A and B are shown apart, each in its own frame.
Chain A
Amino acid sequence: MPERLIEVKDLKVQFATEDGIVRAVDGVSFELARGEVLGIVGESGSGKSVTAMTLLGLTKEKNTRFEGEVLYKGRNVLAMNEDELQEVRGNEMSMIFQDPMTSLNPVYTVGAQICEAIQIHEKTDKRAARLRAIELLKQVGIPNAESRVDNFPHEFSGGMRQRAMIAMALACNPDVLIADEPTTALDVTIQAQIIELVDRLKDEFNSAVILITHDLGVVADVADEIVVMYAGRVVERAPTRKLFYDPQMPYTWGLLGSIPRLDRPRQERLHSIKGTPPSLIRSPTGCKFRPRCPHAFDKCMEEPRLENRVEEPGHLDRCWLSVDEKRRLREATIAGEEEAA
């Protein structure tokens, strides 16, 4: 049994804003063990980034309220003070952000920014930190790492910057690597390379990865388990194979329908989910997906619980439809026939 690193229990994150209270995360739970890759998937506004940042305590601000627990090796991150958080950040859990263009400080060299992370957590001198930085840049596949280490971020291409970000995140051998949309800002050809890199380094560094994305296709090959989020909630959670072969939630079908696939008959065009994500200030009553769901019925006015409804034990969802109905309806949705009808 691999060591359990992260346990999130009924996490709620709320922001007070000018327009009202934003319930960005509303009762999210999941676990992560060493060596695993967990995919968190959802549209923008589903609360996945807030969840990720909360794991590192980065959402702690004056106008934020938390409920629930985020346990890292049994210690509650939400209850940690600033000093304890600093010890965890970058050292035990580290993070890669969406836009490598803006996530590196333009006025320092890439090497200096990697060294900074090393020197703050490990008592090493400058020379040792620099050698380690070069080593890391080599590991993430930057050519000529010895000279590139002294380049400024603007002298790197987008893909190289994201590699540098990964090098920086891995600098102190963290247990958990959180990648928040690490490929969204990159070219399609580079996306696959970066995901593959993260997957390979996870084994080399013996860590666990949380991979956040709006694109199910990105996590399909690497994730062990997938959590689908909608309007701050988990709406479906299953091992990756199960989620792809037997998706239970109409929202997940929509996400699946928006991936181009070779094993299906050629479609006229890709299916997309109609409508926009709900306001997190005044969210709809009942099932949050109801206003956009083509299969909604009276029962959906009451919100379903996240529970196991299929034979597979680890597969949870929030949908009132019976399993048989779901299996019948989803074929149509994913194949995009409904669109044509």
Chain B
Amino acid sequence: MLAFLVRRLVGAFLVLVAVSFITYLIFVKIPGGDPAPRIAGRLATDQNIADIRQKLHLNDPFYSQYWAMMQSLFTGSLKSYSSQLNVVQEIKRGIPATLSLTIGAGIIWLGFGILVGVISAVTAGRLSDRVITVLALIGISMPVFWLGLISRYLFAEGHPLSFLPDGEYVGLTVNPWQWFVHLLMPWTVLAVLFIGFYGRVLRSNVLDTINEDYVRTAKAKGLPPRRVLVKHVLRNSLIPIVTLFGLDFAAVIGGSAILTETVFNLRGVGQYAADSVQSLDLPPIMGVTIYATFFIVLFSVVVDLLYAWLDPRIRPT
């Protein structure tokens, strides 16, 4: 088990090095020309540009440039050039909002996804299955930011069917109830896509598992249908869902969460990156990209361990 973990962590470390190097290429090399004014952004002064040249060792060979960039990221000296704010600090400031959004949405989408998938599989071919399938397909076909915009337009404070506050993040420690109420709409909007997606995946997993020999064995033992469904069909169909959930949960931070945060103005990490797009302010985007990718890579190690725990066949001994 330990060897497995060590091997996995070494692999993850190598991926991280490669990822950071690609990020360096994207921001410093791909656009070509002198990167200093570009990194500085549209609002930079000559002094900024000179600072960057010196800081990123732009006259040195590429490996010391790369090293300098990594250093500024991890010592926390990387600064945004449109606001002059420290990038690492700004990212830290956004983490509670981002985690609140993604964890809450994750719980909702996993719970409802399983519910919807099971109902759909058990009633396969009947009306409820068809209705769920249609709704799920519409769910996965909607741009998350558009759904957010429409829900705000319809349900938020000061709008036609007002019953929820309009966006913004309230800290959990500041006011737990307000935290919950403010996040309810973003959670639901972010979860809709995944509920549809998970429902469909689970439905097909369940229908596959139902035809497994061990399910026939369970029925031949005289188990009640409910027990066959829960203990034999579902237990096995859920293994891939758990893996999927782990990966999606990590990926959503660098994906749909950005759009959701932006639409609801939650001031999370993703919105911090998205806001920097308008001013072509690259350091925040670079910082968020690297941190999010690191999080995803490390999280996938955790998912692997979880998977090994759930499925005895691949459990390393």
The interface of chain A, by Cβ under 8 A from chain B, is 56, 58, 82, 85-91, 94-95, 97, 99, 102-107, 116-117, 120-121, 152, 154, 165, 168
Question: B53: CB under 8 A from chain A?
Answer: no
B312 A105 Cβ-Cβ under 8 A: no
The main secondary structure of chain B at its interface with chain A is helix
B216: chain A residues at CB < 8 Å are 58, 97, 103
A121 B222 Cβ-Cβ under 8 A: yes
Tell me which of B218, B225, B231 contacts A82 (CB under 8 A).
B225
B231: chain A residues at CB < 8 Å are 116
CB within 8 Å for A116 and B235 given contacts A103-B216, A106-B312, A154-B312: no
Q: Chain B: which residue is nearest A171 at the CB level? A: B221
Task: State A58–B222 Cα separation when bound (angstroms).
Answer: 10
Q: 1/0 per residue B218-239: CB within 8 Å of A? A: 1111111101000110011001
A168: chain B residues at CB < 8 Å are 217, 221
A-B contact pairs, 21 of them (CB 8 A): A58-B219, A90-B220, A94-B220, A95-B220, A97-B220, A102-B213, A103-B214, A105-B217, A105-B235, A106-B214, A106-B236, A107-B236, A107-B310, A107-B311, A107-B312, A116-B221, A117-B223, A120-B223, A121-B222, A154-B312, A165-B217
Q: B235-285: which residues lie under 8 A (CB-CB) from chain A?
A: 235-236, 239
Task: State A120–B226 Cα separation when bound (angstroms).
Answer: 13
Interface size on B, residues (CB 8 A): 23
The interface of chain B, by Cβ under 8 A from chain A, is 212-214, 216-225, 227, 231-232, 235-236, 239, 310-313
- Tell me the minimal C-beta distance from B222 to chain A in angstroms: 3
A58 B220 Cβ-Cβ under 8 A: yes
Tell me which of A89, A91, A102, A104 contacts B219 (CB under 8 A).
A89
B221 A105 Cβ-Cβ under 8 A: no
B221: chain A residues at CB < 8 Å are 89-90, 94, 116-117, 120, 168
CB within 8 Å for A56 and B220 given contacts A102-B213, A105-B236, A106-B214: yes
- Tell me the minimal C-beta distance from B291 to chain A in angstroms: 36
B217: chain A residues at CB < 8 Å are 95, 97, 103-105, 165, 168
A106 B218 Cβ-Cβ under 8 A: no
A103 B213 Cβ-Cβ under 8 A: yes
